[in-house]
Chain A
Amino acid sequence: MRIDEDQVADLLRRLDDEPTRPPRVDLGGAIREARRRRRNRRATAAGAAALGVLAVAVLPVALNGVDRGAPAPATSASPSTPSPKPRPSGPWQGVCTAALLPGSEEAAGSEVTAGDPDGRWLVGRLTMHDFRDYRLLIWEGNRVREIAIPGEEQQLRDVNRAGLAVGATGRSLKLSQPWAVRDGEAIRLKGVSSGSAAAVNDAGRIVGFRNAEDGREVWTQQRPVIWDSSEASAVDLPLPGPGWAGSAIDIDEDGTILAEMADMAGADDPGRPRRAVIWRPGATRPEVLPLPQVPGGTTIQFTPVSLVGGWVTGMAYREKQPGKSGRALQEYPVRIDLRTGKADLMPAVVWAGTGNARGWQAGSMAGTGNGTAVVTDTKLVKLPGLDGTTASGDGWVKSLSDDGRVLGGQLFQNERGHAVRWTCR
């Protein structure tokens, strides 16, 4: 048989066979691995310089609204409330211990994904050996309850003092479905064909996003919404402008709502700068929070992480060399006091974590090596691993109680993620 190059090209164009099975790719694993590499790189490179800049920031010592009495929990899921230990009292010393949470013995991995402001409830999930198969867990003290929600990639993202948890299922944001869990029962939140629930406050109000039908891409179609209760239908929050898109990500006890949004008018570009948007109780219009000023100049983006006790925490970004291609960004951990509008730099960077009502943050360390940490208004406190040393503290923090004494998250050990609770005195 004779065959020429044109025929080869033609044959190749018709070579349409596909893999005989769908891809087996673990995006969660990719994210974890990427973060581990990023932390390792930061540890050896620019980290020291970044912390040098941040060291000049001085935070106010006086904190308003701290240690306010918690409202009494509403109907509790359980008659008795086992607690791991009596809660320590006195000044916070930042001396912490880590303990495994029960219930994950059969799993390939486990993690805590959120907790309530008192540290009484932690919510999380088990990764089974098929990586899309998750079992949801709710811990109250050391008692654990498994929750079934239909769908895949289930995740609980917040829980209030009454144990009302909210979250979502679905492989992608386009397919995601919002859920609440009350007394062990899963409730599909109403009024949206697809969307997600991100946070709940003690009044039972839930915020998140819905996917707008007219959105062309994931980043243009999200609209912030509120459910007045787990039985209510979603209501759209008023937008800062016609092209704005994004998700409500937190709701404070006074009803103030925080969203991460961007002005996507006319844009198919997912890189439009993120902004923090808030809706105060009783206000008819949202406010786009001003971009924080940092020692290196003006920031171009502020990505909020949490809103608790009037504190918005998040990360501000400044272009290292404005106008240059590549757009290398320097990040600054920032908290904004909504009572005064004042923005302060935190003493250290932590990644992808959470905040509390004192304006503290907790998360994974950046710039100082692997590990987990709490960043108070004045200092960084490294969290220990299961052996008690900070060297084994590599992992994530997803829950930080208002008094800073109970944290939930995940520690990596022996190639496996473990759901853990830290208690601090």
Chain B
Amino acid sequence: MPDASDEEYVAYLSARLPALHRLAYSLCGNADQADDLVQEAATRLFERWSRASRADDVDAYVRAIVVRLFLDGRRRGWWRIRLFAAPPDVRRSEDRGVEERTVLRDALAQVPPRQRAVLVLRFLYDLPVDEVARSLGCSAGTVKSQTSHGLAAMRRLLSDRQLAGSNGKER
């Protein structure tokens, strides 16, 4: 027999999987780990679906699950467990600006996880400080200080590197 609540959940989440996967990828920098992160987030969301589906902003709720799992997983390492066997990521070599992105990615990967999450949400996702604070479960002041620390760390990491085509007038 059908279960309408399941269907609602599947309908909601299947439409958002690419976006959540992209967010997870931005956070952890690896498509396989992003899969694991979203898989676990999907499980947690279903556990709470009867309540989550009533939230004012379900998208923000799910985003917060992904971000907190990322931060939590950095501590506990659960996401090293692979759910699907998959070939390694192969970047398309004809991509323009691939080098710049690789340099940026490498730098971002070296920023501490909490600062990285703040940077990703603030700048890649253009979310306001309050929204980032809700996602991370911290105060707006903490977001601001983490942003500042994160940007400073990125600046240090990038200052020694060649950023081809990143910002011509700065070179």
Contact = CB atoms under 8 A, between A and B. Distances in A.
Interface in B112-161: 119-120, 122-124, 126, 148, 151-152, 154-155, 158-161
B94 interface: no
A416 interface: no
A309 to B, nearest CB: 14
Interface string A265-285: 000011100100000000000
A21 interface: yes
B14 A171 contact: yes
A4 B155 contact: yes
Contacts of B58: 270
Contacts of A23: 17-18, 20-21, 34-35, 38
23 contacts: A1-B161, A1-B171, A3-B170, A4-B155, A11-B100, A11-B158, A12-B123, A15-B104, A15-B105, A17-B105, A18-B22, A20-B31, A20-B92, A22-B18, A23-B18, A23-B21, A24-B83, A27-B42, A35-B46, A172-B11, A198-B2, A271-B53, A352-B6
Contacts of A38: 47
Contact of A10 (B21, B38, B126, B167): B167
A270 B8 contact: yes
B44 interface: yes
B144 to A, nearest CB: 12
Interface in B18-52: 18, 20-22, 25-26, 31, 34-35, 38-39, 42-47, 50-51
A17 B11 contact: no
B86 interface: yes
A24 B54 contact: no
Interface in A144-203: 157-158, 171-174, 198-199
Interface of B: 1-15, 17-18, 20-22, 25-26, 31, 34-35, 38-39, 42-47, 50-51, 53-55, 58, 83-84, 86, 89-92, 95, 98, 100-101, 104-105, 108, 119-120, 122-124, 126, 148, 151-152, 154-155, 158-163, 166-167, 170-171
B159 A2 contact: yes
Contacts of A274: 4
Given A21-B89, A31-B6, A271-B54, A8 B1 contact: no
Contacts of A303: 4-5
Nearest to A272: B54
Given A5-B152, A23-B38, A354 B1 contact: yes
B34 to A, nearest CB: 6
Interface of A: 1-5, 7-13, 15, 17-27, 29-31, 33-35, 37-38, 114, 157-158, 171-174, 198-199, 218-219, 246-247, 249-250, 260, 269-271, 274, 303, 305-306, 317, 326-329, 352-355, 398
Contacts of B151: 5, 8-9
B163 A25 contact: no
User: Binding site of A, secondary structure by majority: helix, strand, loop or mixed?
Assistant: mixed
A249 B43 contact: no
B53 A270 contact: yes
Contacts of B8: 173, 218-219, 270
Given A1-B163, A3-B155, A218-B11, A26 B39 contact: yes
B170 A27 contact: no
A37 B40 CA distance: 12
A247 B162 CA distance: 58
Contacts of A29: 39, 83
A198 B54 CA distance: 25
B4 A24 contact: no
A339 B3 CA distance: 25
A37 B44 CA distance: 10
Given A1-B162, A4-B155, A247 B15 contact: no
Contact of A25 (B1, B42, B155, B162): B42
A417 to B, nearest CB: 16
A12 B161 contact: no
Contact of B4 (A4, A21, A37, A260): A260
A87 to B, nearest CB: 22
Given A12-B119, A24-B83, 20 more contacts: A2-B159, A3-B167, A5-B148, A7-B155, A15-B105, A15-B108, A15-B123, A20-B31, A20-B89, A23-B21, A25-B38, A33-B43, A34-B47, A37-B47, A158-B1, A173-B11, A199-B1, A199-B2, A260-B4, A306-B1
A182 B48 CA distance: 39
Contacts of B158: 1, 3, 8, 11
A247 B2 CA distance: 10
Contacts of B108: 12, 15
Contacts of B26: 15
A173 B7 contact: yes
B18 A37 contact: no
